[in-house]
């Protein structure tokens, strides 16, 4: 599914990723853990194609296609979805309108027919129900005045609707109380499947109790410094990141 080889990235002359290499297989849920400033969010932005990041070396392939050559919207159409740590507010644009515009742009880019409005409404309503998002929220401007938890649920709703191949969850657990965390995790788990992979970025092990990963990677100083199974997360919880900071330095 996703192949990252020897990725070097800087932003405003500051080196953030230093030869990161990572493989995520079809259907795999990979967790990325690491201390603050280890480059986790940068990794998510670089995969999604945010402009400010300068890729100095390395490659990022999605099913063999070079993502680094694509615009962010082309990557989205190719199946990359980033659930933002801080979802943006778009004043004046109703959530439902936004969802329709996004979905139909992607379908068009893939050469598929646009979805009819009734069909779209049906899908959105179904997904909203599962995520316990009240219907009237769909009429409000996207993310404007939403609580932190509502914004995160809205990200998962979009994920469900857009049916991406490769989902990145960037600190999706931050700012969520336990009930919201459970709703969001259930939403994500419902989307797991053979053809869909996940990269779950988190600082704490807590989220991984609900979204159980197949593999866990530890990041420090812009590289993956250790990989293992889900037990690695528990080990980190017990011992902290101190070992890895020194190891990487």
Give yes or no for residue 198 binding another protein (CB under 8 A).
no
Give yes or no for residue 140 binding another protein (CB under 8 A).
no
Size of interface with another protein, in residues (CB under 8 A): 38
Interface pick for another protein out of 77, 127, 184, 188 (rule CB under 8 A) = 77
On whether the CB atoms of residues 54 and 35 are closer than 8 A, the answer is no
| Contacts of another protein in 142-171 (CB under 8 A) | 158, 162
Pick the piece of the chain touching another protein (CB under 8 A) from 43-51, 57-65, 187-195, 215-223: 43-51
Cα separation, 91 vs 75, in Å, equals 25
CB neighbourhood size of 245 (10 A)? 16
| Cβ closest to another protein, residue 7 vs residue 167 | 167
| Contacts of another protein in 101-130 (CB under 8 A) | 101-106, 109, 114, 117
| Cβ closest to another protein, residue 11 vs residue 212 | 11
Q: What token pair was written down for 242? A: 């101190």
Helices and strands per DSSP (H, E), number in the chain: 10, 10
- For residue 71, the Cα-to-chain-centroid distance in whole angstroms is 17
Q: Angle 204-84-138 (CA atoms, 0-180°, nearest 5)?
A: 120
- Integer-rounded Cα radius of gyration of the chain: 18
Q: Angle 134-140-143 (CA atoms, 0-180°, nearest 5)?
A: 90
| Cβ closest to another protein, residue 106 vs residue 221 | 106
Give yes or no for residue 73 binding another protein (CB under 8 A).
yes
Contact footprint for another protein (CB under 8 A): 48-52, 71-73, 75-77, 80-82, 84, 87-94, 97-98, 100-106, 109, 114, 117, 141, 158, 162
């Amino acid at each position: 599914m996703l192949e990252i080889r020897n990725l070097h990235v800087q932003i405003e002359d500051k080196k953030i990723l230093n030869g990161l290499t990572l493989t995520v297989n079809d259907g795999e849920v990979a967790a990325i853990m690491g201390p603050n400033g280890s480059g986790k969010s940068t990794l998510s932005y670089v995969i999604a194609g945010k402009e400010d990041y300068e890729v100095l070396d390395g490659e990022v392939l999605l099913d063999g296609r070079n993502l680094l050559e694509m615009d962010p919207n082309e990557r989205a159409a190719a199946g990359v979805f980033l659930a933002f740590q801080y979802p943006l507010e778009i004043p004046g644009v109703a959530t439902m309108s936004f969802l329709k515009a996004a979905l139909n742009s992607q379908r068009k880019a893939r050469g598929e027919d646009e979805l009819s409005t009734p069909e779209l409404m049906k899908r959105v309503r179904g997904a909203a129900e599962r995520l316990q998002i009240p219907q009237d929220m769909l009429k409000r401007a996207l993310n404007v005045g939403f609580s932190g938890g509502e914004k995160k649920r809205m990200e998962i709703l979009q994920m469900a609707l857009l049916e991406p191949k490769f989902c990145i969850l960037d600190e999706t657990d931050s700012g969520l109380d336990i009930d919201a965390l459970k709703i969001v995790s259930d939403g994500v788990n419902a989307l797991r499947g053979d053809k869909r992979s996940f990269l779950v970025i988190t600082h704490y092990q807590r989220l991984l109790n609900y979204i159980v990963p197949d593999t866990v990677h530890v990041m420090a100083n812009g590289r993956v410094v250790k990989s293992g199974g889900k037990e690695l997360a528990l080990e980190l919880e017990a011992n902290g990141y101190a070992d890895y900071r020194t190891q990487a330095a």
